[in-house]
Structure 1
Amino acid sequence: MELPKLKEFREAAKLSQRDIAKLLDMTQANYWALEKGKSIANAKQILQLCDLFKCTPNDLFGIRGIYEVATKGWDDDEA
């Protein structure tokens, strides 16, 4: 699963993949994989990213949006 929000936050901060990779103590290739959804960030990395971008995990990964799509219709009355 690609994480477009991660790229959006990085570009808004005018940082390169290499800049963030260095901050997370990983290679640029590993960060690229994270941004493309081919790798998963650990809790420490998520907190570092949130601190860097001054956001929540929900903001960064769009969890709220995924939740709303997944639960759409749950409260509908079945008559």
Structure 2
Amino acid sequence: MTTTDSPYRMSVSFNVVTHLGLNLYSNIPAVLSEAVANSWDADATEVSITVNKNTGTVVVQDNGSGMDLVDINKNT
């Protein structure tokens, strides 16, 4: 399944990270580290990070079992 085929959608605006994360995270790598840590918390055994410079996106994918489809999509 490619990223575009996935029924799961989650996006975080850089402004949200800037406003909410200034006191929590010192930089973007720290934010990515937290996303990966959340994957491990969801019992993932595999985590991948894909950076697309052309679209300006970073995709963190895992095989964990954290939130279901409804939980993910209602919190985007």
- Specify the TM-score bucket, using the shorter chain as the normaliser: under 0.3
Bigger radius of gyration, 1 or 2?
1
Q: What's the TM-score, normalizing by structure 1?
A: 0.27
Q: Which has the higher contact order (CA 8 A, sep 6+)?
A: 2
Structure with more strand by fraction: 2
